Amino acid sequence: MPDKHADKFKDECGVFGIFGHPEAANMTYLGLYALQHRGQESAGIAASDGEQVRVSRAMGYVADTFDSATLAHLTGQVAIGHVRYSTSGESHLSNAQPILIDCAHGQIAICHNGNLVNALELRDELVRQGSIFQSSSDTEVILHLYARSKAGSVESAVIESVSQVRGAFSLVMLTRDRMIAVRDPHGFRPLALGRLGEATVVCSETCAMDLIGATYLRDVEPGEVLVVSAEGMRSIKPFPPAPLAHCIFEHVYFARPDSYVFGKSVNEVRTDLGRILAREQPVAADVVVPVPDSGVCAAMGYAEESGVPLRMGLIRNHYVGRTFIQPQSAIRHFGVKVKLNPVKSILDGRRVILVDDSIVRGTTSRKIVKMVRAAGAKEVHVRISCPPTISPCFYGVDTPQRSELIAATHTIAEITTYLEADSVAYLSLEGLMSAVGNERGSYCSSCYTGRYPVEFPRDEVSYLQLALKLDKTVPVTK
Ligand code: SF4
């Protein structure tokens, strides 16, 4: 199961859809496999053979969730899939996606990446009017709105329902005979469009297209509804124009470096973050050491720009992630040690620049600094390739409360003391924005600024993220 205590922001979902392929479910399985980093709690696929939509969902990793018999049952030339992450503590299959319903408009399955900021008020109203919810997922609100729509066509009912929700949503839906992709007008979460022969593919990140041999065409545009059917592909723009708010954390951490996100290479952006960080925050040292894997691209950029050699002074065990048997006798910092091991020959007697992409609570960074020192490092200088993280996210990313974010409650000097580092320095917001080419102000950076591009009803703040934390009491943070 996923590491619930990892000291990182967590993305919550990856979505995939394919229309017009004889092995649609198999392609979706592979697409989800490539998107596994976006969610490890549950996985699901829905497929239609033109007559009936079938769905299979289960808790766990994609490779463990589906076998050939399950995939063979998901017949048809159109399929959608979802991987989900949650840290709410309880893992519920009822919250896994795709969610499939049957209503007056026929069967529809939905996959969602993002978070709806007005889901609670809509849900309350729907419940008052008699709706019965099956899950604590915000996504189900869209389906209830869809089912109640009196619109004369599937497209019109989809548009009517998504026009009532606010926040972050990259959606892929499946009916008996079509696939519909929707991206919110702010474009918070990515959604790429591509082709595989005659088939149309949509997915959260282009790395999913690479695996199946599909070609990236363009992004589904913010505010665009794409309807793909036997008649071809139709683009509808039903939303009023809204300011763009691409999640900058996709480039900092979430997305795979081999993906293109918001039209930019994640690897290039991340390496640039390191280069700019080296210019902004230089320090005399002998080696640049990345915290693997998240700090690798930025560390390469930092080393290149500073001329300080890059060395892999920490080795990651890639095979951790499933349950493992812990020893009876306590091993100090076992959680970090089982994942990372220092290379003494690189660190011993050296002044080390330790590069990572972010610090959330600081607990893991502190253990890593200790580990590097214990391996003999003379000095440890922590360099972070984004600004201090001071605010939670309300747009589909699992974040701790503000009070748990170390940079929200501590000065840099206090963080340096806490981490027991010789120095700690972050990339500036201007540096981050210049790396993504944010000339038009098209990125969300609320977790660094506390300024939110889409307002949320005040009482919803207490829920942080409805999709994940409906069953938890979370203190109001704003
Ligand atoms: S608040 Fe941060 S994590 Fe959330 S959408 Fe904005 S940039 Fe991304």
**CB 248 less than 6 A from any atom of ligand 1:** yes
Look at the alpha carbons of 319, 320, 322, 328 in this order and tell me if their dihedral is positive or negative.
Answer: positive
> pTM here?
0.91
The per-residue pLDDT for 455 is 79
**CB 446 less than 6 A from any atom of ligand 1:** yes
Edge-to-edge strands of the sheet including 179-183?
99-103, 106-116, 167-175, 179-183, 225-229, 232-236
Looking from the CA of residue 443, the nearest atom of ligand 1 is: 7
Q: In this model, does residue 319 exceed pLDDT 80?
A: no
**CB 456 less than 6 A from any atom of ligand 1:** no
Looking from the CA of residue 394, the nearest atom of ligand 1 is: 4
Task: Give, as one character, the DSSP assignment of residue 432.
Answer: H
Question: What residue owns the CA closest to ligand 1's atom 2?
Answer: 447
Cα separations in angstroms, 328 against 50, 252, 317, 331, 336: 55, 38, 21, 9, 17
C-alpha 289/C-alpha 380 separation (Å) is 10
Distance of CA 397 from the midpoint of ligand 1 (Å)? 7
**CB 288 less than 6 A from any atom of ligand 1:** no
Q: What is the CA radius of gyration of the chain?
A: 23
* Residue 226 confidence class, pLDDT cut points 50, 70, 90: very high
Tokens of 413: 């000097």
Distance of CA 253 from the midpoint of ligand 1 (Å)? 11
Catalytic annotation, residues: 13
**CB 393 less than 6 A from any atom of ligand 1:** yes
**CB 247 less than 6 A from any atom of ligand 1:** yes
Distance of CA 85 from the midpoint of ligand 1 (Å)? 16
Determine the residue of 250, 395, 442, 468 to mutate for testing ligand 1's pocket, defined as the one with the most ligand atoms within 8 A of the Cβ atom: 395
In the chain, what percentage of residues exceed pLDDT 70?
88
Determine the residue of 116, 184, 446, 461 to mutate for testing ligand 1's pocket, defined as the one with the most ligand atoms within 8 A of the Cβ atom: 446
- pLDDT, the chain, mean: 90
Of 174, 167, 113, residue with least CA distance to 146? 174
pLDDT digits (tens, 9 = 90+) for 84-114: 986 433 467 888 999 999 999 999 999 999 9
Question: What residue owns the CA closest to ligand 1's atom 5?
Answer: 247
* Residue 322 confidence class, pLDDT cut points 50, 70, 90: low
* Residue 474 confidence class, pLDDT cut points 50, 70, 90: very low
The per-residue pLDDT for 86 is 62
Distance of CA 41 from the midpoint of ligand 1 (Å)? 21
Look at the alpha carbons of 53, 59, 63, 65 in this order and tell me if their dihedral is positive or negative.
Answer: negative
**CB 360 less than 6 A from any atom of ligand 1:** no
